[in-house]
Structure 1
Amino acid sequence: MNGNTPDSHLIELWRTGNENAYRVLFDRYFFKLYNYTLKLISDKSISEEIVMDVMLAVWQKRDRLNSNLSLSAYLYRSVRNRLIDHLRKQHLPTVSLDQTSVEPPSSFITDSRILHKELERLYKNSLDRLPPQKKRIFTMSREEGSSYKEIADRLQLSKNTVENHMVAALRLLKDHMAMC
């Protein structure tokens, strides 16, 4: 057994219990795989860990290895897959559910309540400034949920007149709220 012994022969010897055959395979591929990972990530300890994990997995699968297997291709593919898994884990940070807050901070709730009250006051102020007919039509449409046709029937107006009042009311509300 030397450095020129084919992988297939070393795998057969190793499967029959010759641990020296594994050492030859390990020495043949470890530094090649290690240098391959170093080109992709610059962390030496992670590179070594990935290659060692792959070599350990090969050791554990020795009874199932096919001697016709291209060991080189298998090892490089395994290292590449482990490297991809490692990089995925790096980009997907996990957070413990115990550390997450389901409710917003109380200051946020307080601020949003104050803002809501202020917007409601501004809306009512702007609504009170509308002419009575526009205010009534707007209220029936937006607050009561009546359709333009229903409003037209109740107030004995044409549907187009109701639409015109709504357009004007919305413009006046928008203008007034923009000034405040």
Structure 2
Amino acid sequence: MTPTACATSSCNWWNSRKACKIRPPTRYGPSDLSDTITDDDAALLRRYRRGDAEAFGVLYARHRLGLYRFLCGLCGDSSLAEEIFQETWLSLVRSASEQREAVAFRTWLYQIARNRLIDHWRKHGRLQGKVEAFDEQAHADLLPSEEADDPEAQLSLSRDRQRLQAALDELPGEQREVFLLRAHGDLELHEIAEMTRTPAETVKSRLRYALQKLRRLLADPAAEERTA
């Protein structure tokens, strides 16, 4: 299959996902699903480039939750996060043939998302409104199903996420970004350094300071007010 045909097939797949509230594929074609799920990202991307749209579906299912939470945490706006989330995957579909083999798929994915968000801020001015809590109802399909079984547990999770988002908002932007890339993107420090074009030691320091402040704020939310 040609790159153009492959991209068209994946665009069609992506449009069907959007129509279903961006849920991952739940049915697969004749390809061996067990083999696809156990493949690493690089193998899945190679299969996608050969025309296997189902392999792209597995990549999406594997990375969508971490990417969405990364964007929510970074911009503090669930609507904007969803917009950038959609743009990121569509951009990836259109440019899958351009990814360098030396760059891990996960790093490439988060680089695209980061660039799209920066472009948005540059276009509209980096003016962030009131921070929105993670919308559990609107994005329930992004959460593991067992989390929604117990209403009390779901409420506790919602409150915990709101507290975490409030604590993240207290971090300087550079520290917040490094923390989110490490926590949700599961990127190594050297990958974050390359992505952000920042010295590795600086990235390490930002992560350390971010963790220290988050621990303090989450252990005692009033701590920052007393020391301000």
Q: If the length of structure 1 is used for normalisation, what is the TM-score?
A: 0.47
Q: If the length of structure 2 is used for normalisation, what is the TM-score?
A: 0.37
